[in-house]
């Protein structure tokens, strides 16, 4: 890791934190329970309280993990880089690429749903702000975590899991683990909200 790499990591985290502040103040004011009310009373915790608290804590990791996902892909593309065949076999890079695919996949699904709602001319059309809230709060993190987990399962069971000794792949693996944890917590939260 060079000083430039470390500076880029800190800079991308700063951009992520700035975007988090903008999103929180503009789109999600009052949505993060911990910021508004603090931790729930620990005398009568339910499973839903635990999961909501965990998902609120995960919210603070997303401004770090999301920009690092993109940055690690960009850093891996610098020369000298391994061949594409080796890059796809590195679990850290595979996790970052799968996370990017999960973002695109969930965005495509919601864009199509928004378009269908417009074409069907429902009584109430969804606004762009409501679409962003739905996309960011309900959909994207489940699909990103699922994409990373599925990619790692395929790599492992197909025998193509090739760990690299460099810091980019190690950090990519840490980012992949965080995406899976975020995805699991978000999925459990949605499941408990449904029932």
Model pLDDT, residue 80: 78
Task: Give the predicted TM-score (pTM) of the model.
Answer: 0.79
3-class SS of residue 106:
helix
| Number of neighbours of residue 188 by Cβ within 10 angstroms | 17
Model pLDDT, residue 27: 67
Question: Please, where are the H alpha helices in 38-166?
Answer: 47-59, 62-76, 84-89, 91-119, 128-134, 140-157
Which tens digits make up the pLDDT trace of 121-162? 555 566 666 666 666 667 788 889 999 999 999 999 998 888
Q: What domain count does the chain have?
A: 1
Q: How far is CA 123 from the centre of its chain?
A: 33
Q: Is the pLDDT of residue 37 over 60?
A: yes
Which tens digits make up the pLDDT trace of 50-100? 777 777 788 888 889 999 999 999 998 888 777 878 888 889 999 999 999
- Check whether the bond before 80 is cis (ω within 30° of 0): yes
**By the 8 A CB rule, do 121 and 75 touch?**
no
Closest CA to 50 of 181, 179, 194, 192: 192
Residue with tokens 């269908």: 116
Which tens digits make up the pLDDT trace of 178-194? 999 999 888 887 777 66
Structural domain span for residue 178: 3-194
Average pLDDT rounded to a whole number, residues 6-17: 91
Instruction: Read off the tokens for 94.
Output: 């595979």
């Amino acid at each position: 890791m060079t000083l430039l790499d470390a500076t880029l990591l800190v800079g991308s985290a700063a951009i992520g934190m700035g975007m988090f502040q903008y999103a929180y103040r503009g789109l999600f004011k009052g949505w993060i329970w911990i910021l508004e009310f603090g931790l729930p009373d620990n005398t009568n915790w339910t499973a839903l309280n635990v999961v909501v608290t965990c998902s609120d804590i995960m919210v603070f990791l997303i401004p770090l993990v999301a920009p690092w996902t993109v940055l690690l892909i960009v850093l891996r593309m610098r020369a000298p880089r391994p061949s594409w065949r080796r890059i796809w076999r590195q679990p850290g890079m595979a996790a970052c690429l799968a996370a990017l695919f999960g973002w695109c996949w969930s965005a495509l699904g919601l864009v199509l749903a928004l378009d269908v709602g417009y074409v069907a001319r429902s009584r109430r059309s969804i606004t762009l702000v409501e679409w962003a809230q739905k996309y960011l709060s309900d959909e994207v993190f489940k699909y990103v975590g699922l994409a990373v987990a599925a990619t790692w399962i395929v790599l492992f069971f197909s025998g193509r899991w090739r760990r690299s000794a460099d810091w980019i792949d190690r950090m990519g693996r840490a980012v992949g683990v965080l995406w899976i944890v975020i995805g699991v917590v978000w999925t459990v939260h949605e499941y408990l909200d449904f029932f």
